[in-house]
A and B are shown apart, each in its own frame.
Chain A
């Protein structure tokens, strides 16, 4: 269940980065959860596509085994960590004055 462990680690790192690293606190904001709610169904569709057609195959030893839309549950943790980290860093740079909207 090594994928499970690393994915959980990724989520923990992303959460700490958002709350205590970049201090963007997106986890407390509606704008993040609304965005994630939009992203999640798309992720489930692409996950389903990639796994049901065996484009990506997982070692059963590396995962817990529970699947959602044919993809390992770990994929949702991975996706959450990726999305939260990127958004948090984006907001962090914005707060520092980079890339303001013209």
Chain B
């Protein structure tokens, strides 16, 4: 599933030259503060059994708070894909304002 998301979005980096991966600092500054509360939520939900993962269909590597490795990767890859999408749209639709244009 994660491979699918990577394949679906990362080509934009090359074809549309969106330079998202080259802007690592801004990317991580955008991801980390958002993802931390989501991971706390995930840990809370797993602990209380709101959702669970089939142990036979995940790698079985667990990080802090019994969150599977795949969840951490999800919260890295999906935000990157989101930023790539909006940057891709910006590249194709140059007249649409995003809000961070230079004056």
A-side residues, CB < 8 A to B, are 2-3, 6, 10, 24-26, 29-32, 34-35, 38-39, 42, 45-46, 49-50, 53-59, 62, 82-83, 85-87, 89-95, 98-102
Contacts and interface: CB of A to CB of B under 8 A. Distances in A.
A31 B50 contact: no
A19 to B, nearest CB: 12
User: In terms of DSSP, what is the predominant structure of the interface of chain A?
Assistant: helix
Interface of B: 1, 4-5, 8, 19, 22-23, 25-27, 29-31, 33-34, 38, 41, 45, 48-54, 57-58, 78-79, 81-83, 85-86, 88-90, 93, 96-100, 102
A30 B93 contact: yes
Contacts, number: 130
User: In terms of DSSP, what is the predominant structure of the interface of chain B?
Assistant: helix
The winner among B22, B23, B48, B52 for most chain A CB atoms within 10 A is: B23
Nearest to A38: B85
A26 B34 CA distance: 16
A95 B29 CA distance: 13
A93 B8 contact: no
Contacts of A2: 45, 48, 50
B24 to A, nearest CB: 8
Contact of A56 (B30, B53, B81): B53
B58 A55 contact: yes
B15 to A, nearest CB: 15
Nearest to B44: A6
B99 A25 contact: yes
Given A32-B86, A86-B34, A102-B19, A42 B99 contact: no
23 contacts: A3-B45, A6-B45, A26-B99, A30-B93, A31-B90, A39-B85, A46-B4, A55-B1, A56-B52, A57-B53, A57-B54, A58-B50, A59-B51, A62-B49, A83-B82, A86-B79, A89-B30, A92-B30, A94-B98, A94-B99, A98-B26, A98-B29, A102-B19
